[in-house]
Structures are given as C-alpha cells and as structure tokens.
Amino acid sequence: MPLKRVVITGMGAISPFGRGVDILMNALLRGESGVRILPELADIRGIRTRVAALVPGVDPGEIPRKYRRSMSAMSVFAALAAGDAIAQGGLSGEQVRGGRFGVSIGSTIGSPRTTQAFFDDFRTDNSVERMKSGVFFQIMNHSCAANVAHMFGITGRTVAPAAACSTGSLAVGYGAEMISMGKQDFMLCGGADEFHPLTAATFDIMNAASTRFNESPGKTPRPFDRDRDGVVCAEGSGILLLESLDSALRRNAGILAEIVGFASTSDPESIANPNAANIAHCMRQALLDAGIGPEGIDYVNAHATGTELGDIAESEAIRSIFGDRVPTSSLKGNLGHAMAASGSIELEASVEMMRRETLLPTHNLDHVDPLCASVTHVRKVTPRRVDTVMKNNFALGGVNSSLIIRRFRQ
C-alpha cells in the first residue's frame, strides 16, 4: 500500500502570549518571556517555585454554552486553537463534518482544576448531590479531543494520546500516520494543558522546578544555560490541521509544511530521567522514517526544558548524531513548559521559522553550560533559510518523540 504524503495546512495557538500564531511569533522574535510570578503559589505549603507562564485574556464566551459546559480551560484552549487552524486551512463546515476528518488531541491528564473542584465539594459532606453533568466530560482523559470533535461536528476518528511532555508531538505524529495510511483525509492534531499547582509540584518535589528566579520570572527557565535550575510550568494549546497532500492540492490549500518523519520510542532506563542514548535512538528512528541522513536536517528545535539532566542528555544526543553542524534552540526560555501543548506549540513556531527564514534563539541562554556546549546554539534571532527541521520532545514516563518537517516542494 503506497503511503500518502501529509502536509500542514492550518495552525492555531493559545500560548502565554495570547491567541494566535502571529502573536506567538512576534513575542518570540522580540525575545519576550511569558513567565510571571504566581502569588497564589506562595500559599501552598511545600512548593518552592513561584513562577508560571499562564494564558492571558482568552475569552471562552465565543464558544456556545452547549459546547462550553463540558469544557475545562484546557478544552477551551484546544477548541479555540482548533477553530483557528480550521479557519487558516480554509475548510468549510461541510468538509470538517465530511466523515474523513478526525481528531488526535491529548493532554497530560483530564482537567486538574475540575477534579479538584469536584473533590473539594465531595469531601465537604461525602455527597455527589451537587455534581453537575459537565464534570465527567472535563476530567475524562479524552476531554480535549472529544470536546473539539463535538464542537466542530467531526465524525471521523477521535484519539487522545497521553504521554505528558511528548503528548503534542505524539498526537501530530499519530495523526500524520493515520493520514499517511489512508485512514483519514484530515486530522486536527496537537496538545493542550491547563496550569495547576499539581503540575509545578510534580517537578518541584523531584528538584526539577525552577526556584531561584522567583523574583525575576523573565530570567527563567534557562535551557542549556549554566545557571538553569529547572522547569517553569506553562499552559496553552497548539493545534495543527494535517491533511493528505492529495487533498491539499485538490482544493488548492495553502501548504505550510510537510511532515516527513516521525518516531516515538520508550526509554526503560528510568521513568523520570532522560537518557542520551535513548534520545538519540528516537532521533535516528525519525531520520529513518524520513528517509534522510543527519546531513538532511538544517535545524533542531530542542525539547530542552532547563533541567540539569535533560538538557545535557539532549545535547549529547544531538551531538552524537549531528556533531556541531546543526543550529539548535529551545523555545521554553520564552514559553515555559506547556506540557502536553509544548510539542505542538513549538512545532508551529518551527513551521513559522522555516517559512520566515529566521531562526529563533534560546531565551535566557547567557552562558552555555560546558556540558551542553557540544552543539551549536542559536543565540540571537538569525536570518537563515532552513528546509528541514527536527522537533524533539521527551516525556516523564520515558516516552520520546521526534518529528521531522520539511518545506513543501512537489
């Protein structure tokens, strides 16, 4: 069975900079930080980090109540981003509802805010008498995917991959494979997450959350920097519209990029700590999938979250494959780590870097850690044409993912 080529024809982003891919890119090009002090973290006993990158000023009111009632913040982010991706793709409602259109959108967990609200109420008198009908639809694992499918009348497949920080990339990769195999013509793909102190605490208790920049939030996280001290949690959603090249050409759609390679591998060495050899294995598998060698990659968009171990492991893995030839940067210095959304938001920025022929630097990379110095870091906004980009994500739980996108050519 010949595999179909898969292209990206629409993108929507809800990020700590607001709504829209252009707003995201303008902030990244200006070197802005979405990280802020979150005063309420000071009220939580035992948590040391005080900063996060939250989505500002997104109005869920444009989503009709009938759909909004089953959405928590993460589904609102996903639905708005999905709508923007569909709009950019120029698809009509009939095309979206046509039966060959699916959804592959994941989150780390179901809504932590709704889960907390339910149990706060439940524990007051051990009663479910006040439980509203929308609770389950917000805390179920496929909440974002199902809500997006419901809102847009999508009748194809609904899948909700979940692999923490790799979720967004996995969702895109699996969606691309479904189109490639001819199972679907279109897929809305990506990740979404909403901030909750539980997420920050998860990293904090493992000494992997940033705690030394609580008074200067714009200075953290610091991927690859010698003074990095951990993750800053964020929220948002990145949703991409994928479709078969045949479909895109048939309807004369604007093609933003082609997805040419994808790999996901498990890392059984540790459920928490990344391993350079296993990361490299994932990247090599993606190259094999794309049918290209290391020389075919022009830029690596790193996962690099600003943790001590993760950044070193990824640097070693990149060096082991590419040497010091390929410019590399991480966008988490600007964006923080939006967990399930990080991969797809960063993929969108990577698509735009390719289109704009401009590489974005790693924000807060003032002094490269000698242990991360074996790769070529992008240190400032750099005009440069790149045609093929590798996007990495590595997750707690030991799930690695690498995507390869390419400038479209016939």
Partner 1 sequence: MTNQQIIERIDRSIAEEFEIDPEEMKPEKTLFQDLGLDSLDIVDLVIVLETAFRFKIREEEGIRNIRTLGDIHAFVLQKKNELESNPR
Residues forming the active site: 165, 303, 337
Of residues 2, 40, 65, 124, which one binds partner 1 by CB under 8 A? 65
Q: Say which amino acid occupies 237.
A: S
Instruction: Tell me: does residue 45 bind partner 1 (CB under 8 A).
Output: no
Within 213-336, where are the H helices?
A: 245-250, 276-290, 308-322, 332-335
| Closest approach of partner 1 to the CB of residue 179, in Å | 33
| Nearest in space to 299 (alpha carbons), one of 223, 407, 203, 202 | 407
For partner 1, the closer of residues 128 and 271 by Cβ is: 128
The torsion of the CA quartet 232, 235, 241, 244, rounded to 10 degrees, works out to: 40
| Closest approach of partner 1 to the CB of residue 132, in Å | 5
Q: What is the per-residue binding string for partner 1 in 67-96, x denoting contact by CB under 8 A?
A: --x---------------------------
Q: Show contacts with partner 1 in window 274-293 (CB under 8 A).
A: none
Q: What is the per-residue binding string for partner 1 in 101-140, x denoting contact by CB under 8 A?
A: ----------------------------xxxxxx------
For partner 1, the closer of residues 130 and 367 by Cβ is: 130
Q: What is the per-residue DSSP string for 122-158?
A: HHHHT--TT--TTHHHHHSTTHHHHHHHHHHT--S-E
Residue 59's Cβ-count burial label (10 Å; 0-12, 13-18, 19+) is: exposed
For partner 1, the closer of residues 133 and 410 by Cβ is: 133
| Closest approach of partner 1 to the CB of residue 60, in Å | 12
| Closest approach of partner 1 to the CB of residue 130, in Å | 6
| Closest approach of partner 1 to the CB of residue 122, in Å | 14
For partner 1, the closer of residues 64 and 383 by Cβ is: 64
Report the alpha-carbon distance of residue 245 to residue 249 in Å, rounded: 6
Report the alpha-carbon distance of residue 410 to residue 405 in Å, rounded: 14
> Would you put residue 323 in left (φ > 0), alpha (ψ -120 to 50) or beta?
left
Instruction: Tell me: does residue 215 bind partner 1 (CB under 8 A).
Output: no
| Nearest in space to 392 (alpha carbons), one of 308, 311, 333 | 311
Q: How big, in percent rounded to 5, are the helix, strand and coil portions of the chain?
A: 40, 20, 40
For partner 1, the closer of residues 60 and 397 by Cβ is: 60
Q: Binding-site residue total for partner 1 (CB under 8 A)?
A: 9
For partner 1, the closer of residues 133 and 252 by Cβ is: 133
| Closest approach of partner 1 to the CB of residue 62, in Å | 13
> Would you put residue 382 in left (φ > 0), alpha (ψ -120 to 50) or beta?
beta
What is the token pair recorded at 54? 């939250």
Instruction: Tell me: does residue 66 bind partner 1 (CB under 8 A).
Output: yes
What phi and psi values does residue 403 have, to the nearest 5 degrees?
A: -115, 150
Binding positions for partner 1, rule: CB under 8 A: 65-66, 69, 129-134
